[in-house]
Amino acid sequence: MSLLPVKRWVSRACGLVVDLDGLLARRRGRYVLAYHRVLPVGHLRRHYVQSAMWVTPETFDRQLTWMARVGRIVDLPEILDFDTPSDRPLFAVTFDDGWRDNFAHAYPILRRHQAPATIFLVSGAIDSGALFWVEDLFEKTWAAARDGREAEVRAALAERMPGVAVAPGRTGVGAAMEGYAEALKELRGPERRERLADYYAALDLDPEPIRGELMDWAQVQEMARGGVRFGSHGASHEILKNLDADAARHDLTTSKAALEARLGVPVDTFCYPNARYEAAHPGLLAEAGYRYGFRIDNLPLTAGYDPYLVPRFLVNESVCAEPSYLKFRLLGVPRY
């Protein structure tokens, strides 16, 4: 059993007796929050979305209200600048990937709160509209399992991951396909594409990527006019370690140039795909003209931070459904 429900219950009980908002206010920390998707429950019933990836519009709305009450929601440049002190906690809202729900659901809520936000886009995916391979794999596999082909799907996954037990039931399919995706993330593009083509052929699934889940440039530009900032999340969404240095340089410069051409402003922030980076990557970012690199490690931003390894807190429904649980995390107690 996951410990999360227990941690949430303990957090709730402690939150009743400890003034967490007061503690956070006195600490005056700086917190960059990393969201992905803002999805209504109806969408989540019809699709497979990893639990790390979403909050509901209601939760997002509540969080913005809370942040503005305890501290201030500020733009990235303000939170990154320690020369200007703040007498309250500061929060910055960021989103990874450029999902269409950011435009449809998050943007109206941000506007209502007049809250600034930054979205890290995958320029090539906005160009093509093609869903990322991980979510494409999940959506197609899940749909096939739901369509009465669960045993076949489980067999195809088990065959590709010898030694990994695929438990019966859809939970088993979810865990197995997430495990398969993690294994494929270790491979470089060409080999991974070959494996995926073989998997789709075995299950007779359409290898063409699903479209329509990501924003298009018109939506990006409308949000930019409304004050939303954009950074780069790469051109291809490839994990940098799976690219050799030249390909990584190309990915970094292409996405920066594409975003600057579409938005007409300099883009100097980069968010590492899959939050993975290696020692050589900050140097490549600097070489490509970026000034900041963002990761996810559930730590607050402190003076003297490394601009190419800016820490962020991952926020999703499981972390924030119980508000005290997120507050304890921001306070660093306990350290998960």
Nearest 5°: the CA angle 25, 30, 31 is: 105
- In angstroms, give the least distance from the CB of 93 to Zn ion: 16
Residue type, 58: E
The tokens describing 196, both together, are 């995926």
Q: 96 or 317: whose CB is closer to Zn ion? A: 96
Provide, rounded to whole angstroms, the least separation between the CB of residue 273 and Zn ion: 5
CB of residue 118 vs Zn ion: minimum separation in angstroms? Answer: 14
State which residue, 61 or 238, has the beta carbon closest to Zn ion.
Answer: 238
Task: Decide whether 19 or 297 has the Cβ nearer to Zn ion.
Answer: 297
Name every residue whose Cβ is closer than 8 Å to that of residue 150 and which is 6 or more positions away in sequence: 170, 173
Residue number, 96 or 238, with CB nearest to Zn ion? 96
Query: For residues 54 and 157, what is the distance between their CA atoms, to the nearest angstrom?
Result: 25
Q: Which is nearer to Zn ion, 180 or 294 (CB)?
A: 294
Half-sphere exposure of 24 (CA within 13 A, CB side): 28
Distance CA 37, CA 56 (A): 8
Site for Zn ion in 62-121 (CB under 5 A): 96-97
Q: How far is the CB of 131 from Zn ion (least distance, A)?
A: 12
Distance in angstroms (rounded) separating the CA atoms of residues 317 and 324? 13
Q: Which is nearer to Zn ion, 132 or 142 (CB)?
A: 132
Best CA proximity match to 35, nearest among 228, 236, 319: 319
Q: Compute CA 206 distance to the chain's CA centroid, rounded to the nearest angstrom.
A: 26
Give the β-pairing of 30-35 and 117-121: unpaired
* Shorter beta-carbon distance to Zn ion: residue 86 or 219: 219
Q: Which is nearer to Zn ion, 97 or 213 (CB)?
A: 97
For Zn ion, the closer of residues 308 and 325 by Cβ is 308
Give the pair of three-digit tokens for residue 272: 């590492």
CB of 74 to Zn ion, least distance (A): 23
Answer yes or no whether residue 238 interacts with Zn ion by CB under 5 A.
no
- State how far the Cα of 96 lies from the Cα of 125, in Å rounded to an integer: 13
Minimum CB separation of residue 274 from Zn ion in Å reads 6
Smallest distance from Zn ion to CB 233, Å: 5
**36 and 50 Cβ atoms separated by less than 8 Å:** no
Tell me the closest approach of the beta carbon of residue 275 to Zn ion, in angstroms.
8
Residues binding Zn ion: what is the number (CB under 5 A)?
2
End-to-end Cα, the chain, rounded Å: 17
22 exposed, middle or buried (CB, 10 Å; 0-12, 13-18, 19+)? Answer: exposed
Dist CA 295 CA 299 (whole Å): 10
Q: Which helix (H) or strand (E) holds 42?
A: helix 41-46
Q: Shortest distance, CB of residue 25 to Zn ion, whole angstroms?
A: 32
Helix (H) or strand (E) holding 150: helix 150-160
Two structure tokens written together for 118: 């930054």
Write out the residues near Zn ion by the rule CB under 5 A: 96-97
